[in-house]
Amino acid sequence: MALFALLMIPLLVMTAFAVDLGAWYAQANRIQRAADASALAGVVWAADYQNPNKWDTIARDTATKNSYTDGTNGVTVTTQKINQARIKVTICADGQQFFSQLVFRGERLCRSATAEYVLPVPLGSPRNYIGTGGLGRSTDATSVYAPERLWMAVSGYCTDRVQGDQVASRYFNSPSSPNNGCTGTQNTDFSDENYQYYIDLPAGRTYNTDVIIFNGNFVDNGGSCSSGGYAGTNNPNEFCPGGLAGKPSMSTTFSLYQADGTPLDDTDNPAMSAISTSNPSQGCGSTTAGVNGIKTFAPVANNPGDSNYDFNPSAANFTDTGNTTNSGWWRICTIPSSAPPGRYIMRVRNQAAVAGAPAQANGSNAYSIVATPSTSQRLCNARTDTTCPKVYATDYMSVYALANGSANFFLAEIGPEHAGKKVTINLWDSAEGATELRIKKPTGTNTWADQTFSYTSQCGPSATAGASGTNVTSISNPSFNGCLLQITFTLTGYSPPADNRWWRVYYVYGSNATDRTTWSVSITGDPVHLIQ
């Protein structure tokens, strides 16, 4: 009896701790789930420049909904913004005690969660311009004045998808009968939205920003489309793969939308009507530069003679805002310095998306987009200049490559947060006229190396399998007319240079090669996720 009495006390203490320890584990799991939910809910607002504290409010409100309110019943909720895409939430609470309080003062339970969101990878340009083709005067390939040798492009609603536009062409006809009007198999990849670009303005800027389009008009020289539709390397007057065949040529609409606080939702960005409507000279609200930052360029029936345009921000023709019929530079809008920073959206559509447009529209229009400080206009590279605006494509990049010999195009920006993930590169109707294709990964400020990859091709409306390869560094004779070329690889041990996260696609072309194609890059993984 004496021994039993002596053992009762430690047995009761052990039982008390066993019960309370189990309760602490259960309570800690609830705290962890609340921290996870709070971090995930708040992180999507981390880049909201207009409401800089909204991420914190949302995170704390979410914690309250999960029964943890800062300052109530001993609860503390601590938040931290690590960067514009990552936040950390820590929740602490006193551990519940049922039996152990007689011999133990209690346990403080804390759990943290770090969440980030990853936007679609930027496509095509780390600079304040995209798609300037042969414009440029520098022989230094690293200079911002070096020709890109790549135009942005959009095809008409009735242009055959086989001609190279995966998204804007409504129909998929047989390759032997291109551009014969709106007939044939419907394109399952068609999107009425066509193409979208981001104009990313940095925080803290003190300058107004001119948004400029080059060659917004499709120029119809009578439907012959001689010399591939271009009159010289500096003059993208016309591009109509397959020939116009007497069909109506296309108009092109450029629409600019404001930045907002929901970077994962591009459907709610307001039009530019709320900016500078009281000051028509700034462009966005004027009738000469387009209503509310929207401008539709009609086709032009003759060659406007733009071959003398030089890509020089100091030249007067760089800010041509009064040219209503010919191609050339057109300022669609000036975004004032007082406007919020962030990602402004430029949408480019063929005339099928314009109310009252003709039922048919053929051809493909090549164009450029530039965003430059209004005063002391300049070209710049955001990899080395933090004050530089950025212009890049999202989701899909529809391009026209005009190149001889080798061509090294910027493809996509892939940050270190994607290490270990799978990358998929889709090239539609790729590499016509090319003899070799490689994918280049960044290794230094201006250096790249071959990436090993696997690939498959699928052709035709029925997606018939074609060429394939595994663990290769190049594709020889990579002509995939009317086919989707899919390249995949894993970012094993990926750690890019801090000043260069841009990948490239490298082609070797024959003489006077042209390539009308559509590119896209995706990375497997949830865009909003926990990392800790």
Written in H, E and C, the secondary structure of 340-374 is CCEEEEEEEEEHHHCCCCCCCCECEEEEEEEEEEC
Q: Residue 457 domain-assigned?
A: yes
Same domain, residue pair 98 and 178: no
| pLDDT-above-70 percentage for the chain | 74
Confidence of residue 279 (pLDDT cuts 50, 70, 90): very low
> How many independent structural domains does the chain possess?
3
**pLDDT for res 326:** 47
Mean pLDDT taken over the chain? 78
* Tokens encoding 397: 């990049």
Confidence of residue 16 (pLDDT cuts 50, 70, 90): low
**pLDDT for res 455:** 93
**pLDDT for res 297:** 76
| Residues ≥6 apart with Cβ < 8 Å to 409 | 124, 148, 149, 150, 399, 401, 504, 505, 506, 507
> Which one of 340, 363, 394 terminates a domain?
394
Q: Residue 17 domain-assigned?
A: yes
Model confidence, pTM: 0.80
Same domain, residue pair 100 and 144: no
Same domain, residue pair 270 and 165: yes
Distance between CA atoms of residues 260 and 34, nearest Å: 27
Residue range 311-336: mean pLDDT, rounded: 55
Same domain, residue pair 424 and 531: yes
Same domain, residue pair 199 and 242: yes
Distance between CA atoms of residues 394 and 123, nearest Å: 6
What's the Cα-to-Cα distance from 140 to each of 17, 126, 144, 511, rounded to whole Å?
Answer: 72, 17, 9, 22
Considering only residues 321 and 482, tell me which one the structure prediction assigns the higher pLDDT.
482
416 phi/psi in degrees, rounded to 5: -65, -15
DSSP state for residue 227 in the 8-state scheme:
G
Same domain, residue pair 62 and 180: no
Q: Residue 413 pLDDT more than 90?
A: yes
Q: Taking the alpha carbons of 170, 173, 175, 176 in that order, is the dihedral positive or negative?
A: negative
**pLDDT for res 100:** 57
Which segment of 81-90, 196-205, 239-248, 454-463 scores lowest on mean pLDDT? 239-248
Q: Residue 322 domain-assigned?
A: yes
Confidence of residue 513 (pLDDT cuts 50, 70, 90): low
Q: Residue 122 domain-assigned?
A: no
Which segment of 328-332, 371-375, 480-484 scores lowest on mean pLDDT? 328-332
Q: Residue 511 pLDDT more than 70?
A: no
**pLDDT for res 114:** 93
Same domain, residue pair 336 and 379: yes
> Which one of 394, 413, 436 terminates a domain?
394
Distance between CA atoms of residues 219 and 225, nearest Å: 10
Q: Residue 399 domain-assigned?
A: no
Which segment of 42-51, 174-183, 475-484, 515-524 scores lowest on mean pLDDT? 174-183
> Which one of 372, 394, 416 terminates a domain?
394
User: Buried b vs exposed e over 17-32: b needs ≥16 C-beta within 10 Å?
Assistant: eeebeebbeebbebbb
**pLDDT for res 176:** 45
User: Which tens digit of pLDDT belongs to each residue from 203-239?
Assistant: 888 998 888 888 787 776 554 554 433 334 444 455 6
Residue range 417-442: mean pLDDT, rounded: 89
Which amino acid is present at 31? I
Around 433, how many Cα atoms within 13 Å sit in the side-chain half-sphere? Answer: 18
Same domain, residue pair 451 and 529: yes
Confidence of residue 276 (pLDDT cuts 50, 70, 90): very low
Distance between CA atoms of residues 290 and 272, nearest Å: 11
Residue 286 lies in domain: 128-394
Residue range 234-259: mean pLDDT, rounded: 70
For the chain, give the longest Cα–Cα distance.
113
Same domain, residue pair 215 and 351: yes
The 10 Å Cβ neighbour count of residue 144 is 19
DSSP state for residue 218 in the 8-state scheme:
P
Highest mean pLDDT among 199-203, 264-268, 351-355, 447-451 belongs to: 447-451
CB 241 within 8 A of CB 163: yes
CB 256 within 8 A of CB 344: yes
> Helix, strand or coil for residue 7?
helix
The H or E element that residue 59 is part of is helix 54-65
Say if residue 158 is exposed, middle or buried (CB neighbours under 10 Å; 0-12, 13-18, 19+).
Answer: buried
**pLDDT for res 244:** 61
List the end-to-end C-alpha distance of the chain, in Å, as a whole number: 53
| pLDDT-above-90 percentage for the chain | 28
Q: Residue 95 domain-assigned?
A: yes
Distance between CA atoms of residues 168 and 189, nearest Å: 8
User: Buried b vs exposed e over 88-100: b needs ≥16 C-beta within 10 Å?
Assistant: bbbbbbebebebb
User: Which tens digit of pLDDT belongs to each residue from 464-497?
Assistant: 567 889 999 999 888 788 888 999 999 999 999 9
Q: Residue 430 pLDDT more than 70?
A: yes
| Residues ≥6 apart with Cβ < 8 Å to 316 | none
Same domain, residue pair 111 and 199: no
Confidence of residue 462 (pLDDT cuts 50, 70, 90): low
Same domain, residue pair 52 and 101: yes
Residue range 425-436: mean pLDDT, rounded: 85
Residue range 419-434: mean pLDDT, rounded: 87
Q: Residue 532 domain-assigned?
A: yes
Q: Residue 503 domain-assigned?
A: yes
Same domain, residue pair 139 and 180: yes
Distance between CA atoms of residues 56 and 78, nearest Å: 9
CB 253 within 8 A of CB 196: no
